[in-house]
Amino acid sequence: MIDGAKPFLGMRAGGLRPYPAYRDSGVEWLGRVPEHWEVRRLKGLAKILNGATPASGRREYWGGDILWLTPEDLGRLRGRDIRQSRRSITRVGYESCGSTLAPVGSTVMSTRAPIGHLAILGREGCTNQGCRLLVPENDAVVPEWVYLGLLTARSELQALGQGTTFAELSRDALGAFALSLPPLSEQTAIARFLEAADRRIRRYIRAKERLVELLEERKRALIHEAVTGRIDVRTGQPYPAYKDSGVEWLGKVPEHWGVVPLGRIAVARCDGPFGSGLKSSHYMDRGVRVVRLQNIGHGEFRNDDSAFISAEHYSTLGDHSVVPEDILIAGLGDRNHPAGRACVAPRDIGPTMVKADCFRFRLDRSQALPRFVALQLTATALGAAGLSRGATRQRINLSGTAGRRITLPTIQQQKSIIEYVTREIVSTSMLQGNAERQIALLREYRTRLIADVVTGKLDVREAAARLPETDPLAGDRDRADPIRTESNLHSTAHDMMKEASA
């Protein structure tokens, strides 16, 4: 048993065991099934409906109240039931195409690009041609069983896809696919058991995800307080005296800290080439590294997405070079990844240049340490957004960035703050990693549990019978459940760390 799943063993006291007797199913992917179970082809259990798309240029076909699902809608779904689609169609649009409405409880499955996204209709709806609907049409199957059977067989269904441009699962291949079929009352018991288990697992996963978010918020709050002088990292308390910085997003700063424009402590600066000088068509697998916006994280250089150009082409672009310990600043962003965030070029970066909307500042290190400045620029980026121009995205230019004012303590204090922040980042990352590993284990456990139960490897009839008639978490499937917190992040630090280490 996966350790991360142990909290859920209580819902099925006594554990789960195999069925008393098995037989060969005659289907390779199913293997042996309980002796009293049937094996049936999908076309004998459900009516398979194709989807279609109304003409895109006809405005009267779009924006109605009819649910119209695509693989993209299914791919974004977190959970089982689907009630909304990115686009909807009108009655006129529906009648103009070959799609068919299916009732609540039908299973919807993407059959191309990609194969295997699944959901159960929470309200009547239809699909485009990238999906098919499966409507149970006899009393031998409960609606949830079709969904569970296909969910368990996702990899087998994907292997049946054919096509050159993209793999597609044909209606005939889907209809010929074989599922195991227990008696109706047993299907109901299995579906009830798995729904109860799924609710508890999802609730716990959401709590862990929220914990990761809270730890990230706490880390950023501590960094902000340290690099803007809200606290003295040597004592954990505010500095004895403060002065007005004259900068709205900095507010008051320690009395002995200076306030200067970024450009005054830089010995060189540049942005990337604009226009046709550098395009994605110039990228290659090796050569001179190109720093792009996605490489500039929140105080950290992100090395997981790299692009290069030839040395010959680089030589035609002018000086946009980057060397280790240069500060890299994003000139374009949004609220989640604000313009003005910064990081430091790593020591092993090699020959590198910046792209358009990325700025490089080379500092006078007798006045400022690159790591400290990058952390402060990132911590205050949202507050400094008043420098930005642009309706939907924030944008700043090189001269505006050079004029951005920062506050600086002594070099020794900068070193102390960097050491403090590094410790906090390492500590928080360990706690976040622990929570993320628990999430991964729970998801793995849920997948294995569904597969073992739906294929008859485990007998849940007794466990299902012990479930309460009214589950206290009923209706909880699609609701976000933030864990309780106090408004002051510091006051909950101890509790969060205990929870993350659990």
d(CA 430, CA 353): 33
What was the pLDDT predicted at 72?
A: 95
Helix, strand, coil shares, percent, the chain, to 5? 40, 20, 40
E strands present in 283-400 = 288-291, 308-309, 321-322, 327-330, 332-333, 342-344, 352-354, 358-363, 394-395
Task: Find tokens 């910085």 and name the residue.
Answer: 245
Phi, psi at residue 238, to the nearest 5°? -60, 160
Query: What CA–CA distances, in Å, run from 385 to 223, 249, 339?
Result: 19, 9, 7
What was the pLDDT predicted at 334?
A: 87
∠ CA 233-236-241 to the nearest 5 degrees? 85
Q: 174-203 pLDDT, tens per residue?
A: 999 999 999 999 999 999 999 999 999 999
What was the pLDDT predicted at 173?
A: 95
User: Kind and range of the H or E element at 165?
Assistant: none
d(CA 67, CA 321): 52
d(CA 316, CA 353): 12
d(CA 364, CA 258): 15
Among residues 335, 325, 498, the alpha carbon closest in space to that of 418 is found at 325
What was the pLDDT predicted at 496?
A: 39
What was the pLDDT predicted at 102?
A: 96
**Are 467 and 189 in contact, with CB atoms under 8 Å apart?**
no
What was the pLDDT predicted at 392?
A: 59
Q: Give strand pairing partners of 136.
A: 46
pTM of the model: 0.76
**pLDDT < 70 stretches in the chain:** 1-14, 385-392, 470-502
Among residues 52, 159, 154, the alpha carbon closest in space to that of 107 is found at 154
Q: 413-431 pLDDT, tens per residue?
A: 999 999 999 999 999 999 9
Q: 341-395 pLDDT, tens per residue?
A: 999 999 999 999 999 999 999 999 999 999 999 999 999 998 886 544 544 578 8
Residue 244: how many CB atoms within 10 A of its CB? 10
Residues 6+ apart with CB under 8 A from 324: 345, 346, 347, 348, 349
Q: Which long-range contacts (CB under 8 A, 24 or more apart) does 467-476 make?
A: 467/11, 467/192, 467/193, 467/196, 471/196, 471/199, 473/196, 473/199, 473/200, 473/203, 474/199, 476/199, 476/202, 476/203
Fill in the amino acid letter for 174.
L
d(CA 158, CA 156): 5
Phi, psi at residue 214, to the nearest 5°? -65, -40
**Are 82 and 147 in contact, with CB atoms under 8 Å apart?**
no
Fill in the amino acid letter for 18.
P
Task: Find tokens 């294929």 and name the residue.
Answer: 455
What was the pLDDT predicted at 417?
A: 97
Q: Give strand pairing partners of 403.
A: none
